[in-house]
């Protein structure tokens, strides 16, 4: 496990507004500590620098692991969404029922691999949308 300094961790969290930078769930509503994700994993020569770090909920972080890409429906290798260089709304869309849909191949492989639409996650997202505390 790579050690990230408390200062850097706080900086990443603040920049992310304490929300998961992949599925956008606010940390406040998950009874668990968020992780610092290496967007490009160390295994693939990613560095522990602000430009390569993202604030991630444990679901997104664990499902992503050290992966950086997957195969889309056309069997093409497609990289994951990069919170540092991509715009969330260009790749994803939140529906009132809590499901996140993809708008691009990058969105597609990210949703599938990080399992955004796992049923418990969708149920929580739907309730947060209803009380107005989940938005992109």
Binding site for Zn ion (CB under 5 A): 20, 22-23, 57, 60
Q: What's the gap between Cα 47 and its chain centre?
A: 18
β-strand 69-71 against 92-94: which pairing, if any?
unpaired
Judge contact between 98 and 126, C-beta under 8 A.
Answer: yes
Q: Which is nearer to Zn ion, 22 or 81 (CB)?
A: 22
Q: Which is nearer to Zn ion, 22 or 134 (CB)?
A: 22
The CA distance from 125 to 116, in Å, is 10
Q: Which is nearer to Zn ion, 46 or 54 (CB)?
A: 54
Q: Closest separation between CB of residue 94 and Zn ion, Å?
A: 13
Q: Closest separation between CB of residue 75 and Zn ion, Å?
A: 26
């Amino acid at each position: 496990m790579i050690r990230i300094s408390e200062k850097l961790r706080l900086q990443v969290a603040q920049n992310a507004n304490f929300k998961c930078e992949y599925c956008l769930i606010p940390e406040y509503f998950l009874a668990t500590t968020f992780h610092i994700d290496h967007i490009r994993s160390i295994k693939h020569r990613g560095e522990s620098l602000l430009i390569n770090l993202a604030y991630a909920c444990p679901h997104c972080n664990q499902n992503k692991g050290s992966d950086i890409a997957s195969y889309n429906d056309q069997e093409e290798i497609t990289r994951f969404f990069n919170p540092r260089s991509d715009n969330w709304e260009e790749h994803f869309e939140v529906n009132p029922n809590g499901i996140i849909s993809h708008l691009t191949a990058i969105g597609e492989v990210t949703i599938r691999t990080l399992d955004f639409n796992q049923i418990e996650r969708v149920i929580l997202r739907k309730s947060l949308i209803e009380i107005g505390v989940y938005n992109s």
